[in-house]
Amino acid sequence: MSSLIKSVRGRRVWDSRGRPTVEAEITLADGRTARAIAPAGASTGSAEAIDRRDGGAAFGGLDVQGALQAVNGEIAALLAGRDVLRQDELDAALVALDGTPNKARLGGNALVATSLAIAHAAAVAQRLPLWRHLGAGRNDVFLPLPEVQIFGGGAHAGRRVDVQDFMIIAVGATDYAQALEWTAEVYRAAGRLMTEAGLLAGVADEGGWWPAFASNEAALDFLLRAIERAGYTPGQDVAISLDIAATDFGRGGRYRLARDAREIDSDGLAEMLLGWLARYPIVAIEDPLAEDDGEGLRKFTTAAGSRVEVVADDFICTSATRISAAAALGACNTALIKPNQAGTVSETLAALRAAQDAGWQSIVSARSGESEDVSVVHLAVGWGAKQLKVGSFARSERMAKWNEGLRIAEALGQGGGDLPPRESFPWGR
């Protein structure tokens, strides 16, 4: 049968930051192949599947020879002769083979590349695009609403500002293609404004402008002006979203704001952010407090959760169990879904379903270390996730993903690509 695995091969390829990463390639019995590349994060949550690196001198200790040996050895032996249409079973076998709670032995990078390659191989075996294979049986297929970085900060830009991502969401766009058009105009307007102000310091890790702002608020003001300069009404056409990535500058309820040169407690940070929500057209705010500050996240969600998406990234690490626990606590109302945090496709889907069961929104997301791999777009469309976050609107590892959405829209016969109904978002209610 053509869905049986003949061989699995791991090879070292290079990511968007010039670092080694794992590519897994599956050859089916009939000779057809499918492959996937592991992404990598910089501001990682502590409960993520472990990104296994070799240490030592080469490439700053980031080589992946150990993870590749796992793919070419134990994993290849486990999967030979198995059926790629049985994703759940194969993922469970991979998790059992690893045997650790965080995929530290074989490596989360080895597992996620292999698991995604299995999904791609299943699509190839059925001669279907991946999104169609994953969405089998669904007929209300839509494109996810893009959440796009305009300014990069935090760990992605030398901590120039504390906030990691200053993003926009084209909340008023009529379809996916228009959301990208509006994003392109705002991205360009932001670049022009910064050049005029003499503040442009380059491009951050995910392609956003790397600004030399005097404060977090200055970045928000510039973003607002960029939306206006591009000809859109802030809040109505194009809204702001933020990833505070507070785990990077907070622990034990204390937060160190490098830009503003002061330390504040959990309530102080929440108060500052609630002030921003009152003054700027912000519709989503990710990791507003650190991963060890569940109580702070609960309080923040009580205060703001009816108006905006309070997005959990580090706090849940794409774990179904953690999402259910967070929902029970009332901490956050939206899940960021990153396949390499979970480690396998089935666990990623379980996390997404846990979010849906809890009445949460979900945003499928790429990482800061990316590649030409566009799997996340297919996961978002196939699984019916309403939003997609893959960094900025520049550099091919990002554009490959936005562009893939345009192809899927066309294949769906939807022209520019239908977006989820506006009422399904907090800002549309």
**CA torsion sign, 124 to 125 to 128 to 130?**
negative
Residue 243 and residue 167 in contact, taking contact as beta carbons nearer than 8 Å: yes
Quick one: residue 167, left, alpha or beta (phi over 0 = left, psi -120 to 50 = alpha)? beta
Stretch of 39-47, 63-71, 290-298, 379-387 contacting ligand PGA, by CB under 6 A: 39-47
Burial class (CB in 10 A: 0-12, 13-18, 19+), 275: exposed
Long-range pairs, 263-266, Cβ under 8 A, ≥24 = 266/293, 266/295, 266/296, 266/299
Rounded CA-CA distance 115/130 in Å is 13
Joined tokens for residue 377: 């777009």
Which residue among the candidates 103, 291, 338, 397 is catalytic per the annotation?
338
367 forms part of the interface with ligand PGA (CB under 6 A): yes
416 binds, options ligand PGA, Zn ion, none, Cβ within 5 to 8 A by partner type: none
Taking the complex as a whole, how short is the minimal distance between the CB of residue 411 and ligand PGA, in angstroms? Answer: 28
Rounded CA-CA distance 121/27 in Å is 8
Q: Which of residues 259-288 bind Zn ion (CB under 5 A)?
A: 286
Stretch of 38-46, 66-74, 120-128, 301-309 contacting ligand PGA, by CB under 6 A: 38-46
398 forms part of the interface with ligand PGA (CB under 6 A): no
Rounded CA-CA distance 368/241 in Å is 17
Residue 66 and residue 52 in contact, taking contact as beta carbons nearer than 8 Å: yes
Return the bridge partners of 40, or none.
369
Burial string for 74-98 (b: 16+ CB within 10 Å, else e) reads: bbbebbeebbbbebeebbeebbebb
In angstroms, what CA-CA distances link 138 with 132, 245, 367? 9, 34, 27
Rounded CA-CA distance 426/429 in Å is 6
Joined tokens for residue 180: 């990208």
Stretch of 20-28, 117-125, 167-175, 309-317 contacting Zn ion, by CB under 5 A: 309-317
Closest CA to 386 of 359, 404, 367: 359
Indicate the residue among 144 and 172 with the shorter CB distance to Zn ion.
144
41 binds, options ligand PGA, Zn ion, none, Cβ within 5 to 8 A by partner type: ligand PGA
Residue 388 and residue 376 in contact, taking contact as beta carbons nearer than 8 Å: yes
Q: Which of residues 160-179 bind ligand PGA (CB under 6 A)?
A: 164
Helix (H, G, I), strand (E, B) or coil at 92: helix
15 forms part of the interface with ligand PGA (CB under 6 A): no
Indicate the residue among 41 and 208 with the shorter CB distance to ligand PGA.
41
Taking the complex as a whole, how short is the minimal distance between the CB of residue 44 and ligand PGA, in angstroms? Answer: 5
Q: Which of residues 273-312 bind ligand PGA (CB under 6 A)?
A: none
42 binds, options ligand PGA, Zn ion, none, Cβ within 5 to 8 A by partner type: ligand PGA
Whether residue 338 lies in the annotated active site: yes
Instruction: Give me the torsion for CA of 392, 397, 401, 406, rounded to 10°.
Output: 90
Return the residue matching tokens 């554009």.
399
Residue 154 and residue 248 in contact, taking contact as beta carbons nearer than 8 Å: yes
Which residue among the candidates 147, 206, 291, 404 is catalytic per the annotation?
206
Give the residue, chosen from 8, 15, 35, 43, that forms a contact with ligand PGA under the rule CB under 6 A: 43
Taking the complex as a whole, how short is the minimal distance between the CB of residue 207 and Zn ion, in angstroms? Answer: 16
87 forms part of the interface with ligand PGA (CB under 6 A): no
Taking the complex as a whole, how short is the minimal distance between the CB of residue 39 and Zn ion, in angstroms? Answer: 13
Site string for ligand PGA, 215-244 (x = CB under 6 A): ----------------------------x-
Closest CA to 189 of 223, 214, 157: 223
Return the residue matching tokens 């996340």.
376
Give the residue, chosen from 313, 370, 373, 404, that forms a contact with Zn ion under the rule CB under 5 A: 313
243 forms part of the interface with Zn ion (CB under 5 A): yes
Q: Which of residues 44-103 bind Zn ion (CB under 5 A)?
A: none
Stretch of 35-43, 55-63, 225-233, 267-275 contacting ligand PGA, by CB under 6 A: 35-43
Helix (H, G, I), strand (E, B) or coil at 337: strand
Indicate the residue among 206 and 286 with the shorter CB distance to Zn ion.
286
Joined tokens for residue 148: 């796009």
371 forms part of the interface with ligand PGA (CB under 6 A): no
Q: Which residue is nearest to Zn ion (CB)?
A: 313
318 forms part of the interface with ligand PGA (CB under 6 A): no
Indicate the residue among 116 and 167 with the shorter CB distance to Zn ion.
167
162 forms part of the interface with Zn ion (CB under 5 A): no
204 forms part of the interface with ligand PGA (CB under 6 A): no
Residues of the shown chain interacting with Zn ion in the complex, contacts defined by CB under 5 A: 243, 286, 313
Catalytic residues: 206, 338
Q: Which chain residues interact with ligand PGA by CB under 6 A?
A: 41-44, 164, 243, 245, 313, 365, 367-368
